[in-house]
């Protein structure tokens, strides 16, 4: 029997378990581990895994594939701890939102007998934890696959198979390009969302404003409801790229500020161009989803 071990049974890990089990793979056992016993119990109750282990060494024993679905900074600790216990030929992957550091840690800690291929499903929710897990979370979403230079074709094919099994679209990319891109389209929106809440909720009149806040505020502030630990790790492990995009965003905000102060029709043109760019993105995204 093949064995897949999922380390970290929060939103991402439990959703992967649910999605894999939904495919009814024959002769595959899914083993789970989470440092929080309550999360492990909930994963069993939701049938996201077949069984759980109470320690990491036991969890990876006999595993063909190990998926690390923890906050990014925790991945380093996990790799270091499981390295001596991994069986020969085991394939290790992750779901971390940044990749450069993760690939470096894998190279540092994993023995030559073990393969590593980085992964990052571009899917998620503002809610965290096993309770929010969803077997459909990955449907149609890009699944970034980031192989080290010496990764075997067999190891890469295995991660492609997992991505396809859970309904995602494999997307090959190198670590540095991945981190720069996601800093713009994932991590910057996270910071903007949190900053919006910080700026508005600290106003003395917030209690009155809050009664008026509706769908626009709700949608833009959604990411601020995510796991603070996960958000911290994302920002700290992609600091340089994220700061560059924050600077670029501040510059763009300054441009809009200037247009407003000048009070002419150029501010309307800015909104027109932004709408066109977003509509083009939505059309492209819809096309990708249909092809997927």
Would you state the structure tokens that stand for residue 71, as one six-digit string?
């906050």
Residue 74 has pLDDT above 90, yes or no: yes
Looking at per-residue pLDDT, the higher value among 1 and 78 belongs to: 78
State the pTM of this model. Answer: 0.91
Question: Which residues are 67's β-sheet partners?
Answer: 6, 93
Written as six digits, the tokens of 55 are 């320690």
The contacts of residue 208 (CB under 8 Å, 6+ apart) are none
Over residues 121-130, mean pLDDT: 88
Which pLDDT does position 272 carry in this prediction? 96
Strand partners of residue 32: 6, 52
Instruction: Please state, in angstroms and rounded to a whole number, the distance separating the CA atoms of residues 15 and 113.
Output: 29
What local confidence, expressed as pLDDT, does residue 42 receive? 96
pLDDT at position 292 is 60
Q: Using a pLDDT cut of 70, give the percent of the chain over it.
A: 99
Number of helices (H) and strands (E), helices first, in the chain? Answer: 13, 8
pLDDT of residue 127: 83
pLDDT in tens, 230-274: 999 999 999 999 999 999 999 999 999 999 999 888 999 999 999
pLDDT tens for residues 158-185? 999 999 999 999 999 999 999 999 999 9
**DSSP symbol at 93:** E
Q: Is the pLDDT of residue 31 over 80?
A: yes
Report residue 154 CA to chain centroid gap: 24
Write down the residue that tokens 């085991």 correspond to: 90
**Averaged over 25-42, what is the pLDDT?**
92
CB atoms within 10 A of CB 181: 15
Contact between residue 117 and residue 146 where contact means Cβ atoms under 8 Å apart: yes
For residue 1, what pLDDT is reported? 62
Question: Domains, the chain, ranges and CATH?
Answer: 2-173 (3.40.50.720), 177-291 (1.10.3660.10)
CA 125 – CA 25 distance, rounded (Å): 26
d(CA 115, CA 113): 7
Q: Which residues contact 166 (CB under 8 A, 6 or more apart)?
A: 16, 19, 20, 23, 121, 138, 143
In angstroms, how far is the first alpha carbon of the chain from the final one?
30
What average pLDDT does the chain have?
95
Contact 97, 227 (CB under 8 A): no
């Amino acid at each position: 029997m093949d064995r897949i071990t999922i380390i970290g049974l929060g939103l991402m890990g439990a959703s992967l378990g649910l999605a894999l089990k939904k495919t009814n793979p024959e002769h595959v056992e899914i083993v789970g581990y989470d440092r929080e016993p309550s999360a492990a119990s909930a994963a069993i109750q939701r049938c996201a895994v077949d069984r759980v282990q109470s320690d990491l060494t036991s969890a990876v024993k006999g595993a063909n594939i190990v998926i690390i679905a923890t906050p990014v900074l925790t991945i380093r600790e996990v790799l270091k701890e499981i390295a001596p216990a991994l069986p020969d030929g085991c394939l290790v992957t992750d779901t971390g939102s940044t990749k450069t550091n993760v690939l470096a840690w894998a190279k540092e800690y994993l023995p030559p007998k073990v393969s590593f291929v980085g992964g990052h499903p571009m899917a998620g929710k503002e809610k965290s934890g096993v309770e929010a897990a969803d077997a459909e979370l990955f449907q149609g979403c890009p699944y970034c696959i980031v192989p080290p230079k010496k990764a075997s074709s067999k190891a890469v094919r295995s991660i492609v198979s997992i991505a396809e099994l859970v309904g995602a679209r494999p997307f090959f990319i190198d670590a540095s390009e991945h981190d720069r891109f996601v800093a713009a389209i994932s991590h910057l929106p996270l910071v903007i969302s949190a900053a919006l809440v910080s700026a508005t909720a600290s106003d003395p009149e917030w209690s009155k404003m809050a009664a008026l806040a509706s769908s626009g505020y709700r949608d833009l502030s959604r990411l601020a409801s995510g796991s603070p630990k996960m958000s911290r790790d994302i920002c700290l492990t992609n600091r340089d790229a994220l700061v560059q995009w924050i600077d670029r965003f501040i510059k763009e905000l300054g441009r809009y500020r200037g247009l407003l102060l000048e009070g002419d029709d150029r501010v309307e043109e800015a909104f027109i161009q932004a709408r066109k760019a977003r509509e083009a993105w939505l059309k492209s995204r819809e096309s990708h989803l249909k092809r997927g």
